[in-house]
Structure 1
Amino acid sequence: MKTKSMASTVLWIPLLLLLHPAAPLAQTATDAKIIEGAKKEGAVMWYTSMAIDQSKVVVDRFQQRYPFIKTSFLRLGGGAVMNRVLTEARAGKQLFDVVGGRGEMIQAFKERGLLGSYRSPETAMIDQDLFDKEGYWYVYYVVPNSLGYNTKLVKKEEVPKTYEELLHPKWKGRKISMDNEGYLLLQGLISAWGREKALDYMRKLAGQEPVLSRGNTERVTMTSAGEYPLVIAYAHAVEREKFKGGPMDWIALEPAVVEIDPLMIASKAPNPNAARLFLDYVLSKEGQEMLLEFQRIPVRKDVEPKPARLFRGYQRVIERPDDYRYFSENVKLFQEIFKTR
């Protein structure tokens, strides 16, 4: 599971009308009535777990596109964003317009009536498993899991090509690095294979005596340094190490479990039209191309990841919000199987 800083930051982006001429409107299909409504509202608040150096760029770019909207954001760690929204709800308040964070937020917010429905026109360029048909949530970037390997320790032809090949005796005995909170990997395989097959596989994988520890970047770095031949980690983390010159590469074990980062609009958003405009902007081609600058993996069909294979050319299973009904149980099962508690 992704772990993010719990430190909070609130940034207010000043209006640019007096400093710069208005920028031409973004290439978005947003209804003109929504844009007019957003002009009257004149503000939008985004709660996000995105890294502050990235989320600030997002609001800056949106502000430049729509200088008539005072754009503000609150940056918190993923768990803290969720707690903030739920705490406000218990007090009868909704102070945010748009919220973005982890997949686990969707079910928790939706069942409490905290999400508003909006059918974004930008979905014409997004696969159907990446947004809610009723308009309650939209994935704006993805985090695929992969099998990374040290190219000095493992020949390309010897790399396990399937989950089953990872169970070969040659990979037994501290040869595989895994996340000790890999609950979403288990949850994704249950979704793809069914409970019995997924649990049976995980028990066999535990029998391979993998090394479990936290941190994707740290584990990939250790694999690159020769600590382990193989690492189950986020594909972009392996790709980043490879780009830096490390002896690393990766493949997607199919179906690859893909974690999501969704955007949602508040059911009682103070600025509902500005919220819709903000969501459309982030999902637009311009907004998705911006995510490439952060080495994020966008979701639009007309915006290629760098490299494209990060989210192209393999079978996948997308993290599903309704699976979180069983999340606590899956956490306990993972901990029991891998003896992490």
Structure 2
Amino acid sequence: MRHRIAIVLAAVLLPVFAFAQTPALVEQVKKEGEVVIYTTTTVRDFEFVIKAAKEKYPFLKVQHVYLSSARQAARVMQEYRAGKLQADVLGNSLEALLYFKEQKVIGKIDSSEAKQMLGVAVDPEGYWLGTTTDLLISAFNTKDLPRQKAPKSYDEYLQPGFKGLMAINSGVPYALTGMTGLRGEEQGIAYMKRLSQQNVRLVEGFTHMINLLAAGEYPLAIFTQVSKAQAMREKGAPVDWLAGSPTFATLSAIAVAANPPHPAGARLLVDFYLSAEGQKALVAAGKIPLRRGVKSSSKAIDDLLESGNLHVIKPEGDYQRYMKLYREFVGGK
């Protein structure tokens, strides 16, 4: 009987406790005055987030500092070592955030919205939360390569018929880290050695790679972002794409500083990022959301996400070593 009473009381009191917390959190955010986020999201794209956040929380003042991944890491470590880290929230790739974790820059992160996210978006150890994803696929120029002849698996990239026809992003080692994560270190490196013999063209950046593909510079872009390929396709360009199995997925994520100057603001901003409103704002900026029930701009991408046939690329071991190996493979340096 006592057990039943406890259950009933919990059901009644828990929502009240959650409701009572909200005004206190809001008041604390107002007292703090602002929240500071360092992120790799461009000023243009972050405007969608700011607008939606202001609509939900008119009192929330967000200071957005846009930095590339490498520049953010350098600035964060410089400020942290000087004991003057200005950022409350950090938005970057998993590679960067795991580095911050190793350096004890970030602390554990909690959000009531986390339960609404896809499983891949939640760090089991609690140090980061995924906000958006991108899927790495084969994009092809439909004028030069019919869909039925496009590669449908990673091993097909190694066939003689595709030699000299492919382009890859020279700036990120996703092909290597993806294959080593999927097949193990030895087989992943062996795969890259074979791929390096295919005379793959090196292109800096995913956007540039898709633009050149659409212009007919080459018929096939491999391990490239589906968001860029789908956007180009929707513009009417002769571009289409196919996904490998499993499909490699990369995550953009957020973390909170171990000792944030504005802890209440940090918590509210994290909650907003993961909320339906925040995720829809990211979709408006051209991103692929990770919250259940929030759709991207493409049904094909949503179907791929919901299939669950994904391999999330997470850096294992020495990321700089993988980057060096990758450059040796694709660039011959």
**Same-fold call, TM > 0.5?**
yes
Which residue pairs with 1:130 in the alignment? 121
8 Å Cα contact 1:29-1:121 kept in structure 2: no
Which of 297, 302, 315 is residue 309 of structure 2 equivalent to?
315
Q: Between 307-316 and 194-203, report the one with greater CA deviation.
A: 307-316
Aligned to 1:339: 331
In structure 1, the residue matched to 2:194 is: 204
2:122 aligned partner, one-letter code? F
Structure 1 residues 182 and 269 mapped into 2: Cα distance closer, same or farther (>3 Å)?
A: closer
Counterpart for residue 134 of structure 2? 143
The total of aligned residue pairs comes to 311
Given residue 320 of structure 1, which amino acid in structure 2 is its aligned partner?
K
Which of 166, 170, 176 aligns to 2:166? It is 176
Please report the TM-score for the alignment, with normalisation by the length of structure 1.
0.85
Counterpart code for 1:282: Y
The aligned runs of 1:261-272 (5 Å cut-off) are: 261-272=252-263
Q: Equivalent pairs: percent with the same residue?
A: 30
Q: Distance in 1 between matches of 2:190 and 2:19?
A: 47
Contact 1:120 1:280 (C-alpha < 8 Å) held by counterparts? yes
CA shift in 2, pair 1:30/1:155, >3 Å:
farther
Determine the C-alpha separation between the residues in 1 that align with 2:176 and 2:248: 9
Q: CA deviation at 1:149?
A: 0.8
Runs of 4+ in 1 over 4 A off after TM superposition: 28-31
Shift of 1:118: 2.5
Equivalences for residues 58-207 of structure 1 within 5 A? 58-172=49-163, 174-207=164-197
5+ residue gaps, structure 2: 1-17
CA distance in 2, matches of 1:69, 1:111: 31
Q: Distance in 2 between matches of 1:248 and 1:29?
A: 49
List per-residue Cα deviations over 1:188-207 (Å, max 9, x = no partner).
21111101111111112122
* Post-superposition offset of 1:299: 0.7
Cα separation, 1, equivalents of 2:66 and 2:19: 28
Once the two structures are superposed, residues 291-311 of structure 1 have per-residue CA deviations (whole angstroms, 9 ceiling, x without a partner) of 111111111121111213325
Residue 68 of structure 1 aligns to a residue whose secondary structure is: coil
2:109–2:255 contact (8 Å) kept in structure 1? no
SS in structure 2 at match of 1:67: coil
The answer on 1:37 being equivalent to 2:24 is no
Judging by fraction of residues, say which structure has more helix. 2
Question: Cα gap change, 1:125/1:29 in structure 2, threshold over 3 Å: closer, same or farther?
Answer: farther
Cα RMSD between the aligned structures? 2.0
Matched, 1:330 2:322: yes
User: Which residue does the alignment assign to 1:249?
Assistant: 240
Tell me the CA shift for residue 30 of structure 1: 11
Larger Rg: 2
Instruction: Name the aligned partner's letter for residue 192 of structure 2.
Output: M
In structure 1, C-alpha distance between the alignment counterparts of 2:203 and 2:62, rounded to whole Å? 39
1:231 maps to 221
Does the 8 Å contact 1:30/1:280 carry over to 2?
no
Deviation of 1:222 (Å): 1.9
Name the CA distance, whole Å, in 2 between partners of 1:51 and 1:209: 33
Preserved contact between residue 48 and residue 285 of structure 2 (Cα < 8 Å): no
Partner Cα distance (2:61, 2:83) in 1: 24
Q: Distance in 2 between matches of 1:306 and 1:167?
A: 32
- Give the letter for the 2:328 counterpart: E
